[in-house]
Amino acid sequence: MNTLFKSTPFQVALMALASIAVALGPRFERGQEGWPSGDIELIIPSGPGGGFDTYARVLARAMEERLDVNVIPKNVPGGDGQRGATVAFTAEPDGQTFAIFNLPGVIEPEIIGEAVGYEIDAIDWLGAMAFGQYIVIAAADSPYDTIADLKRAGETITFTAYGSSGIAANKVLCAEVGLDCQIITGYPSNNEALLGVVRGDAVASVLPISTAIAFNRNGDLKGILLMTEREVPAFADTQKTIAAGYPELGELGLLRAFGLPPGISEELRRAFGAAFDQALGADSVASWAAATGAEFTPMSADELRVRIRSQRAILSRFRDVIAVGH
């Protein structure tokens, strides 16, 4: 059973619409403008094999099930997602290019005043596949069980972190709970950052819940704080945000968000959005999530915009902390 999958009313409706679409026919009907006119390019702002790459390719295959063209993933790594975001943002608004975006990674430069080649609010958002909330973990044999234990230690607490979003999440956690922290960076992946905790490079780390679950098959980790209020059976005994007194930490998370370059025509936007929604509600996507334990919390475009605003709000509150060493 997939313990991370929890349907919202939007998801239920999306699944129902997808079932109707499949029953009526496996292919998407072209609009008056003849869309799609050829293969569709899906920009991925990271290298092959990572989380964003995996989600994008699953979505691409689901869209191909409904279209008479290929959806071709194109990896554009660099700049913690900024290079891919810029390539997608400046693409022709012809419905033949879209992208998966690293949020909040590509929001952070805006927060701290760095110049980038895209505008978050100008992206034509389609929706999201997942909202990966965070967990604070320590080694299984750590003497610390809660955030209160870490605070009582009366010394600097070391954390490992990977990537701009991960580093920001660690910084926000430390600032919000009032911990004196040293954040150790330079790890090539979240798994390596976790290995750093297990072997004693640091006391703790903040990272996506799904990553911690996948890593912890041998029981090398324990939870210190779940930055969510949902049930996570793999870390059932871990304190949650409200009980710990830090409810706003539940607003922070990694969004697997999809969008189009600005300026697309209304008709093309409707056609592309319908194909995207059908793919998001496909049985193949839900089956993949259930089989792999991947986080799957699909969002509509409107739900995604609300989540982006909440991400921006909490990151803005900690602007000065995030900017240090950036």
Residue 8 pLDDT? 52
Half-sphere exposure in the Cβ direction for 5 (13 Å, CA): 16
Cα–Cα distance for residue pair 100/319, rounded to 1 Å: 25
Band the pLDDT of 4: cuts 50, 70, 90: very low
Residue 3 pLDDT? 39
Q: What is the mean pLDDT of residues 63-78?
A: 94
* Nearest alpha-carbon partner for 223 in 136, 134, 132, 133: 136
Cα–Cα distance for residue pair 121/150, rounded to 1 Å: 38
Quick one: tokens of 301?
Answer: 């475009």
Quick one: tokens of 74?
Answer: 């194109």
Q: Where exactly are the structural domains of the chain?
A: 9-131+252-323, 132-251
Q: Which of 15-19, 77-81, 263-267, 291-295 has the lowest mean pLDDT?
A: 15-19
Q: What is the mean pLDDT of residues 22-44?
A: 69
Band the pLDDT of 189: cuts 50, 70, 90: confident
Quick one: tokens of 305?
Answer: 């915009």
Band the pLDDT of 51: cuts 50, 70, 90: confident
Domains 9-131+252-323 and 132-251 share a fold: yes
Q: Which CATH number fits domain 9-131+252-323: 3.20.20.70, 3.40.190.150, 3.40.50.150, 3.90.1150.10?
A: 3.40.190.150
What is the CATH topology of the domain spanning 132-251? D-Maltodextrin-Binding Protein; domain 2 (3.40.190)
Written as one letter, the residue type at 264 is I
Read out DSSP for 43-61? EESS-TTSHHHHHHHHHHH
* More confident call, 255 vs 324: 255
Instruction: Give 237-271 pLDDT, tens digit per residue.
Output: 999 999 999 999 999 999 999 999 999 999 999 99
* Nearest alpha-carbon partner for 209 in 187, 190, 192, 181: 190
* Residue 64 Cα distances to 67, 130, 277, angstroms: 5, 20, 13
Quick one: tokens of 217?
Answer: 């098959």
Band the pLDDT of 21: cuts 50, 70, 90: very low
Task: Give the SS3 label for residue 243.
Answer: helix
Q: What is the mean pLDDT of residues 74-96?
A: 94
pTM of the model: 0.83
Q: Which of 33-37, 117-121, 183-187 has the lowest mean pLDDT?
A: 33-37
Cα–Cα distance for residue pair 187/193, rounded to 1 Å: 6
Residue 29 pLDDT? 53
Residue 45 pLDDT? 93
Cα–Cα distance for residue pair 322/111, rounded to 1 Å: 9
